[in-house]
Amino acid sequence: GAGVSQSPSNKVTEKGKDVELRCDPISGHTALYWYRQSLGQGLEFLIYFQGNSAPDKSGLPSDRFSAERTGGSVSTLTIQRTQQEDSAVYLCASSPRGQSSYEQYFGPGTRLTVT
Amino acid sequence: GQNIDQPTEMTATEGAIVQINCTYQTSGFNGLFWYQQHAGEAPTFLSYNVLDGLEEKGRFSSFLSRSKGYSYLLLKELQMKDSASYLCAPLRQTGANNLFFGTGTRLTVIP
């Protein structure tokens, strides 16, 4: 079946512009996560959605970052007034129930470059 | 807080066995995952341990000792395609059920 998809695969933007990154999770997965990975670094948790519960935004690095999930499916991560340090690969993952025993399935990521 | 310690890089020979160690400190432990990440690709799930002991899955095995905050990933009969980064990820028992990933161990398999 279809896995997690993300778009765009690559995004180059100028400093100060806003960007939107999209994630389509696996159908039926109720949990959705956003991470970012800078070059040579580990994955940094950003935000977590579980069903209709309020999202856990504890990993968002600043108020320039926001995310929403419409209809419990597609999610959009928005970065306002991008900075060069925002350059990274943004990974989305989904999980069947958000329980600890369920693995996360990752999408291919969006490589964001801020010039 | 949380902290993960893994070797940054390892090299092993095709056909050999390699053990990648991971020590961790985390508030509220709820299991530990190992993920494999090939260069330029997304991480893929390898194993999950929540109880102490060894979990074997084909050529890959994962071990956990909760009291010691220690895990290892054992790869047998190494193949060239096993060259990748291996990420140790303790699961924090927070409201997010989120994983905390370290920088991983970059394994290079040589002929």
What backbone phi and psi angles, to 5 degrees, belong to A70? -95, 130
Kindly list the residues of chain A whose beta carbon comes within 8 Å of any beta carbon in chain B: 31, 33, 35, 40-45, 48, 50, 56, 58-59, 91, 98-101, 103-109
| CA–CA distance, B91 with A78 (Å, rounded to integer) | 26
Closest Cβ opposite residue B98 in set A45, A99, A103: A45
Judged by average pLDDT, the poorest of A48-52, A84-88, A107-111, B58-62 is A48-52
Q: Do B98 and A33 lie within an 8 Å CB cutoff? A: yes
Calculate mean pLDDT across residues B22-46. Answer: 88
At A58 the pLDDT is: 85
- pLDDT of res. B102: 79
A113: number of Cβ within 10 Å: 13
The predicted model gives A29-33 an average pLDDT of 90
**Cβ contacts of B44 on chain A, cutoff 8 Å:** 106
Strand partners, B109: B12
Instruction: Spell out which residues of chain A touch residue B34, defining contact as CB-CB under 8 Å.
Output: none
Q: Which residues pair with B103 in a beta bridge?
A: none
- In A, which residues are within 8 Å of B91 by CB distance? 100
